[in-house]
Structure 1
Amino acid sequence: MGKIESFSNRTFQKVYKKGKSYGNKLLIMYYVENNLNCNRLGITVSKKNGNSVVRHRVKRLIKESYRINAKKFIAGYDIIFIARVGIESSSFSQVESAVKHLMKKNNLVKK
């Protein structure tokens, strides 16, 4: 598995405007089809979550949770995960569970 694809500011705006959104206790997820054969991932963590060290740790947790399970997900989507306040005190297993829950809730998991 290679590098996780990210996308531009313009694509972020497109996903926010045209995408569907769902959330759980730790994350909010926006997604829209991208007509590619891969998923592109964007992660947003607010300054309300803590200083830059904490925010970067949260981003790494979300990115790794996605990467480990990426083969289970249907390709062809632009996905944005927004971290809710409170995620900074969560463990890796809780974040991974939240990512898998949102992907399953949106029918983006392969059968």
Structure 2
Amino acid sequence: MRKEFRIKKNKEFQSVFKKGQSFANRQFVIYKLEKVDQEHFRIGLSVSKKIGNAVKRNQIKRYIRQAFLEFEDKLENKYDYVIIVRKPVADMGFEEVKKSLIHILKIARVLSKKN
């Protein structure tokens, strides 16, 4: 995932937390914030040290980025997303992570239903 598609600065994370809407299921909490002038969506990831060791946390982040790349054409581009990972994700494989992300993005009404 290219750098312009990521949220990296704490100030940007905080603005999404404060001004955005949140949606949750058992595996993820997603915050979305509409950015009208933006051409492509951006994502920020938060994986706590409680989830596992560094290898496991990085693996989860790779799964999430890959899932977003696979359905980027179905996502609305004018949003910033912050994804907070919850503990059950540590025991999930890529397909389960992808399925859970699809579920939560449909709840947030940013993913088209033709999936």
Instruction: Indicate yes or no: 2:106 matched with 1:104.
Output: yes
In 2: Cα distance, 1:110 partner to 1:26 partner: 21
Please give the residue correspondences for 1:47-86 in structure 2 after superposition, counting only pairs within 5 Å: 47-86=49-88
CA-CA distance at 1:110 after TM superposition: 3.5
Extract structure 1 runs of 4+ deviating beyond 4 A: none
CA-CA distance at 1:59 after TM superposition: 0.5
CA RMSD in angstroms comes to: 1.4
Counterpart of 2:15, as a letter, is K
Q: Tell me which residue corresponds to 1:6.
A: 6
CA-CA distance at 1:90 after TM superposition: 0.3
Which consecutive unaligned segments of at least 5 residues does structure 1 have?
Answer: none
In 2: Cα distance, 1:70 partner to 1:17 partner: 25
Report the 3-state secondary structure (helix = DSSP H, G, I; strand = E; otherwise coil) of the residue aligned with 1:59.
Answer: helix
Counterpart of 2:69, as a letter, is R
In 2: Cα distance, 1:16 partner to 1:82 partner: 11
Q: Deviations over 1:35-83 (max 9, x none)?
A: 2121000011000001111100111111111111111111100001111
Aligned length: 110
Provide the identity percentage: 31
Q: Tell me which residue corresponds to 2:22.
A: 21
